[in-house]
Amino acid sequence: MPEATPFRRILLKLSGEALAAPDGYWLHPPTLAALAEDIARTIESGAEIAIVVGGGNMIRGARISAAGWIDRATGDSLGMMATVMNSLAIETALNAAGVPARTMSAVSMPTICETYARQPALHHLDKGQVVVLAGGTGNPFFTTDTAAVLRAAELRCDAVLKATQVDGVYSADPKKDPSATRYDRLTHDEAIARDLKVMDTAAFALARESRLSIVVGSLHPPSSIAGILSGEAPSTLVAP
C-alpha cells in the first residue's frame, strides 16, 4: 500500500494544459489513464478526493477576449464550459480505472451532469466517491484556482493540491526565468506580497482567510500526485 498522506480530504486542482496531447490536441487518453491510476493510488493511501480541473488546454477567457472579437464575460463562459468537458473526461478515466467518480457542475447542465450543491457533494465524498467539480465558480472573472480554494473551504478539505506543469512555487516563473529558485515553504502573505503568479491573488487571499494549506507540485513523471503527498516528489507548501 502507498505511504499514508498527511491530509485526509484533499481538493486536487489539476492543470487543464497537462491533459493535452504532445501534439497539442485537447485531450490525451493515455495521459488521462495515467492520471486516473495516480489518483487511485492516492485514494488507496487513505485520501478522499475532490477535483477541480482548469481549462487551459482549451480556452482561457482573458486570453481569447484580449483579441477583441468576444467580450470577457462570454469568453469566460466558454472557459467554464471547457472545464466541464475536461471534468467529464476525468470522470470517465476514473470510472475506467475502477474509481467511482461523478461530475457536479456550478453551471447548470442537467442533461449532462449533476448541478453542484454543497450537501450532496459532501455526501458523495463521505461515501468515498471522487467528486469532480466542473464549471469553476460558475461566475466570469474568476479562475479555477479560486474555485478550487472556494470548494476546498466549503467541503471541509484539509488542503488544496495544485498539480500543474512545474514542481513548486518559484521566485519567478521557471518557464521564463531559468535562474528562478524553488521555495520549500511559504506563507500566504509571502506568496501574495512577492506576486508569485503560480496562482492568482484572489485564490491565495481566500486560502489565507480560510487557513487552508496549498501544496504545489508537478503532474509530470517522475513526479506524481501520490509522490507529492508522500513527500517523495518535490513540492512547495503554502501554509499559515
Ligand X SMILES: O=c1ccn([C@@H]2O[C@H](COP(=O)(O)O)[C@@H](O)[C@H]2O)c(=O)[nH]1
Ligand Y SMILES: Nc1ncnc2c1ncn2[C@@H]1O[C@H](COP(=O)(O)OP(=O)(O)OP(=O)(O)O)[C@@H](O)[C@H]1O
Residues that bind ligand Y (CB under 6 A): 15-17, 54-56, 145, 164-166, 169-170, 172-175, 196-198
User: Which of 2, 16, 168, 227 touches ligand X by CB under 6 A?
Assistant: 16
Residues ≥6 apart with Cβ < 8 Å to 176: none
Query: Which residue lies nearer to ligand X by CB, 147 or 160?
Result: 147
The angle that helices 72-96 and 29-44 make with each other, rounded to 10 degrees, is: 70
The alpha-helical segments, DSSP class H, found in the chain are 29-44, 61-66, 72-96, 118-126, 144-154, 188-193, 201-210, 225-230
Grid coordinates standing for 10? 484533499
Query: Which residue lies nearer to ligand Y by CB, 52 or 97?
Result: 52
Least CB distance to ligand X at residue 54 (A)? 3
Give the count of residues interacting with ligand X (CB under 6 A). Answer: 22
Binding mask 128-147 for ligand X (x = CB under 6 A): --------xx-xx-xxxx-x
Q: Which of 11, 5, 1, 2 is nearest to 229 (CA)?
A: 5
Residue 172 binds which of ligand Y, ligand X, none (CB < 5-8 A, kind-dependent): ligand Y
Residue 142 binds which of ligand X, ligand Y, none (CB < 5-8 A, kind-dependent): ligand X
User: Which of 2, 79, 168, 227 touches ligand X by CB under 6 A?
Assistant: 79
Residue 196 binds which of ligand X, ligand Y, none (CB < 5-8 A, kind-dependent): ligand Y
With helix as H, strand as E and coil as C, how does 31-58 read?
Answer: HHHHHHHHHHHHHHCCCEEEEEECCCCC
State residue 216 phi and psi, 5-degree precision: -115, 125
Binding mask 146-165 for ligand X (x = CB under 6 A): -x------------------
The identity of residue 3, as a single letter, is: E
Grid coordinates standing for 54? 482548469
Residue 227 binds which of ligand Y, ligand X, none (CB < 5-8 A, kind-dependent): none
> 10 Å Cβ neighbour count for 62?
12
Helix or strand run (H / E) with residue 172: none
Least CB distance to ligand X at residue 79 (A)? 2
Binding mask 28-67 for ligand X (x = CB under 6 A): --------------------------xxx---xxx-----
Q: Which residues bind ligand X (CB under 6 A)?
A: 16, 54-56, 60-62, 75-76, 79-80, 82-83, 136-137, 139-140, 142-145, 147
